[in-house]
């Protein structure tokens, strides 16, 4: 905590942090605290290709610092960390990030077309999926000659794997009397990475869609403007009208993928938050917004008008707190 900043002065009364050492002080100052952690992070195993995801050509890929979501070693390590975090006194719950497969902006192009390693083949067999069909779907999209039925099988497989992992995560957290939450991709793009809001809602107490409509940094995994711009570029064999229908976001107001990077409208951001809430009937929708968004106050006001009780703010630079003034 910075000595010159009191978040409560800005109407903020809950803090989500990955640093357990600051919890006692936060509690002393009256904040509710949730702990955050990652799902399939490679950590010290980054240099070991046996942990990496495999693309359709069999090449190892690292995405968002993560490996294969079906690697039992990564899953075990992740859930052990979650269990240990649950022992932290005076916290409200655990919110997990990165519980997904790679997106278009999470690494090199081929990292999106993963994972097809032995772990995933065995998991596909266990879940009664046709692994060859899954591979065919990803390959058809990669080759820009889409096989719709096979692509849908691939995305369903991704979803089944993520849902299974988050089910285990939730079981551990809830067994300690804590709330289980997850940072999720915004609803329009969540299916691409295996996050199905309807399936996840019963498993989670909190769903936190990452609605970053105009993220200004050079790289933006999970950010609407970056991911949709990448989709328009990668799937350039279809029109922006067709992509608009696919994602449920009007992209026809843009002339090119580069234009999309400039940002989506505030109305789109609010609509994504409402979609998340509508899909999450068994959990609380707590959108997370980019505090460096030039329209942050306007978006918060619009969400308040639509009866959103909890709004989270992504703060990676303490100077951006002044945007709330």
SS3 assignment, position 214:
coil
Give how far Cα 75 sits from Cα of 161, 279, 321, Å. 11, 27, 35
1: confidence class by pLDDT, cuts 50, 70, 90: very low
Which strand (E) or helix (H) includes residue 27? helix 23-28
pLDDT in tens, 124-161: 999 999 999 999 999 999 999 999 999 999 999 999 99
Which strand (E) or helix (H) includes residue 125? helix 118-126
Residue scoring higher pLDDT (150 or 324): 150
How, if at all, do strands 14-17 and 32-38 pair?
Answer: parallel
10: confidence class by pLDDT, cuts 50, 70, 90: confident
**pTM to 2 decimals?**
0.95
Whole-number Å distance between alpha carbons of 123 and 125: 5
Residue among 181, 188, 163, 164 at smallest CA distance from 276: 188
Residue among 222, 223, 159, 229 at smallest CA distance from 194: 159
pLDDT in tens, 30-80: 999 999 999 999 999 999 999 999 999 999 999 999 999 999 999 999 999
Tokens of 74: 């990564």
Tokens of 26: 């936060």
Which pLDDT score, from 0 to 100, does residue 7 have?
A: 72
- For the chain, the distance separating the N- and C-terminal CA atoms, rounded to the nearest angstrom, is 19
What CATH fold (topology level) applies to the domain 7-324? TIM Barrel (3.20.20)
The answer, yes or no, to whether residue 15 has pLDDT greater than 90, is: yes
* Residue showing tokens 């990652």: 38
Whole-number Å distance between alpha carbons of 231 and 243: 8
The answer, yes or no, to whether residue 6 has pLDDT greater than 50, is: yes
The answer, yes or no, to whether residue 2 has pLDDT greater than 60, is: no
């Amino acid at each position: 905590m910075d000595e010159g900043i009191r978040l409560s002065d800005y109407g903020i009364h809950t803090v989500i942090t990955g640093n357990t050492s600051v919890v006692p002080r936060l509690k002393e100052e009256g904040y509710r605290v949730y702990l955050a952690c990652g799902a399939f992070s490679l950590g010290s195993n980054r240099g070991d290709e046996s942990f990496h995801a495999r693309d359709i050509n069999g090449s190892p890929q690292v995405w968002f610092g993560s490996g294969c979501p079906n690697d039992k070693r990564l899953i075990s390590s992740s859930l052990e960390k979650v269990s240990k975090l649950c022992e932290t006194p005076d916290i409200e719950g655990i919110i997990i990030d990165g519980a997904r497969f790679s997106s278009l902006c999470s690494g090199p192009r081929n990292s999106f077309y993963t994972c097809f390693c032995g772990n995933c083949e065995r998991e596909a067999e266990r879940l009664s999926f046709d692994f060859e069909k899954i591979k065919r779907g990803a390959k058809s999209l990669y080759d820009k000659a889409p096989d719709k039925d096979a692509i849908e099988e691939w995305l369903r497989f991704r979803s089944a794997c993520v849902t299974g992992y988050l089910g285990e995560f939730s079981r551990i957290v809830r067994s300690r009397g804590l709330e289980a939450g997850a940072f999720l991709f915004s609803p329009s793009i969540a299916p691409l990475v295996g996050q199905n809001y309807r399936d996840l809602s019963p498993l989670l107490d909190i769903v936190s869609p990452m609605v970053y409509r105009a993220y200004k940094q050079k790289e933006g995994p999970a950010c609407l403007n970056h991911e949709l711009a990448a989709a328009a570029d990668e799937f350039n064999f279809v029109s922006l009208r067709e992509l608009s229908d696919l994602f449920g976001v009007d992209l026809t107001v843009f002339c090119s993928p580069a234009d999309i990077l400039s940002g989506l409208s505030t109305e789109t951001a609010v609509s994504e938050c409402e979609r998340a809430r509508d899909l999450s009937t068994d959990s609380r929708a707590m959108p997370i917004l980019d505090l460096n968004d030039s329209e942050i106050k306007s978006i918060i006001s619009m969400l308040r008008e639509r009866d959103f009780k909890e709004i989270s703010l992504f703060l990676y630079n303490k100077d951006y707190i002044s945007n709330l003034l």
